[in-house]
């Protein structure tokens, strides 16, 4: 594994302003760094502890030191992403995703009502007929069952409740397919979802799962249809997400890799869909990223310290043998 000082020597901390509040934030902070294979990203959300954040560093190191896996396709279909905005703002947001045939709509936002969710989904459905919803585990089982019924037919309901057991209960009670996100990426054993027969679709995210190759391996083990999704990544992190999706042996569903449109400015040219798809591309070591949104010194110091702690976590876990072999 590369020494922490080597990573930090090529690191830049950025703070990207967002067009719309998403996951309760209006500014996305991230640390990007250059290695021999290109640029990597370390951007766990600020509330995550070091143990949960360490795989995000592993993913960034993989990108910077190993590069992308071999692609199986030259285009990746994307879903449009609709934050928990008012219904009359939905069409404007969807216009940022030309050619998209699927929309993912955030629901169960704290402080909003089921009526808000129903109206937002209906507004999305008026523009793009295929809609999926994402509750981020915010509903109880009874709330999930009644809310899914009120919203109506969707491609799937993503993480309607927090736990695997709750997902299994909802799945048995509704006709809508259930997708698991947090119950995979935050789980000590991501295979519990399969053992409990709790999901129809697996949402896999590169950074929280430790890298592109980890996503490919888990996809093979889990045996469910896969949607590769972003973790509100910068263009550098998005390159890894698109690379993972492009490397999957099979990809039948649109991926959640279009959140670059949520930023007013990115660290590089963002991955924006054309005709509903994006093309894989890589920010190699010869690319000089000079973001205009560098973070202030205090924020930079906070991220450097966080990276050091997560590097220690990876060392204790014995991470890094694969880099010695590369």
Predicted local confidence at residue 325, as pLDDT: 37
Query: What tokens were used for 47?
Result: 């509330």
* Burial state string for 171-208 with b = 16 or more CB within 10 A and e = fewer than 16: beebebbbbbbbbbbeeeebebbbebebbebbbbbbbb
Q: How many angstroms separate the CA atoms of 126 and 135, rounded?
A: 20
Tokens of 311: 């590097």
pLDDT computed for residue 321 by the predictor: 53
* Rounded distance between C-alpha atoms, residue 227 and residue 289, angstroms: 29
Q: Residues near 198 by Cβ (< 8 Å), separated by ≥ 6?
A: 164, 165, 167, 168, 171, 178, 180, 183, 192
Q: Is 106 a catalytic residue?
A: yes
**Nearest to residue 238, comparing CAs of 52, 12, 30?**
30
pLDDT tens-place values along the chain, 326 residues long: 999 999 999 899 999 999 888 777 889 999 999 999 999 999 999 999 999 999 999 999 999 999 999 999 999 999 999 999 999 999 999 998 989 999 999 999 999 999 999 999 999 999 998 999 999 999 999 999 999 999 999 999 999 999 999 999 999 999 999 999 999 988 888 899 999 999 999 999 999 999 999 999 999 999 999 999 998 999 999 999 999 999 999 999 999 998 888 899 999 999 988 899 999 999 999 999 877 789 999 999 999 999 999 999 999 999 875 553 33
User: Which candidate in 106, 138, 186, 325 is catalytic?
Assistant: 106
Q: Where are the alpha helices (DSSP H) in 47-205?
A: 50-65, 90-94, 114-127, 141-151, 164-173, 182-185, 192-195
Binding residue per annotation — 288? no
Region of 280 please: left (phi>0), alpha (psi -120 to 50) or beta.
beta
Contact in structure between 21 and 263 (CB atoms under 8 Å): no
Q: Which domains does the chain have, with CATH numbers?
A: 4-67+286-317 (3.30.390.10), 76-278 (3.20.20.120)
Tokens, residue 221: 């083990």
Q: Are 50 and 313 in contact (CB under 8 A)?
A: yes
Contact predicate 56/207, CB 8 Å: yes
d(CA 104, CA 319): 35
Query: Could you tell me which residues come within 8 angstroms of residue 257 by beta carbon, excluding any fewer than 6 positions away?
Result: 76, 78, 228, 229, 230, 238, 241, 242, 245, 271, 278
Does the annotation flag 274 for ligand binding?
Answer: no
Among residues 12, 104, 138, 205, which one is catalytic?
Answer: 205
Residue 203, SS3? strand
pLDDT at 323: 52
The answer to whether the annotation marks 182 as part of a ligand binding site is: no
Active site residue 12: no
């Amino acid at each position: 594994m590369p020494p922490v000082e080597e990573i930090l020597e090529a690191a830049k901390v950025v703070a990207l302003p967002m067009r719309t509040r998403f996951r309760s934030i209006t500014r996305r902070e991230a640390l990007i760094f250059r290695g021999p294979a290109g640029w990597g990203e370390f951007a766990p959300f600020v509330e995550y502890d070091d143990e949960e954040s360490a795989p995000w560093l592993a993913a960034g190191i993989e990108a910077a030191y190993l590069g992308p896996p071999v692609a199986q396709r030259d285009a990746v279909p994307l879903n449009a992403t609709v934050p928990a905005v008012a219904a009359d703002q939905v069409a404007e947001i969807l216009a940022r995703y030309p050619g998209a045939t699927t929309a993912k709509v955030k629901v169960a936002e704290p402080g909003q009502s089921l009526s808000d969710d129903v109206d937002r989904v209906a507004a999305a459905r008026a523009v793009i007929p295929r809609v999926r919803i994402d509750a981020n585990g915010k509903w109880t089982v009874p709330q999930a069952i009644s809310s899914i019924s009120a919203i109506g037919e969707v491609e799937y309901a993503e993480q309607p409740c927090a736990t695997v057991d709750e997902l299994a209960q909802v799945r048995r009670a509704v006709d809508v397919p259930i997708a698991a996100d947090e119950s995979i990426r935050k789980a000590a054993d991501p295979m519990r979802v399969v053992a409990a027969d709790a999901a129809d679709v697996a949402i896999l995210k590169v950074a929280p799962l430790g890298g592109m190759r980890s996503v490919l391996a888990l996809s093979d083990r889990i045996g469910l249809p896969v949607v590769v999704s972003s973790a509100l990544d910068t263009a550098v992190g998005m390159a890894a997400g698109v690379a993972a999706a492009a490397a999957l042996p099979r990809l039948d569903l649109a991926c959640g890799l279009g959140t670059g449109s949520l930023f007013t400015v990115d660290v590089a040219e963002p991955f924006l869909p054309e005709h509903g798809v994006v093309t894989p591309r890589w920010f190699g070591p010869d690319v000089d990223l000079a973001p205009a949104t560098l973070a202030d010194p205090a924020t930079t110091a906070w991220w450097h310290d966080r990276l050091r702690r997560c590097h220690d976590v990876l060392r204790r876990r014995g991470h890094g043998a694969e880099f010695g072999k590369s």
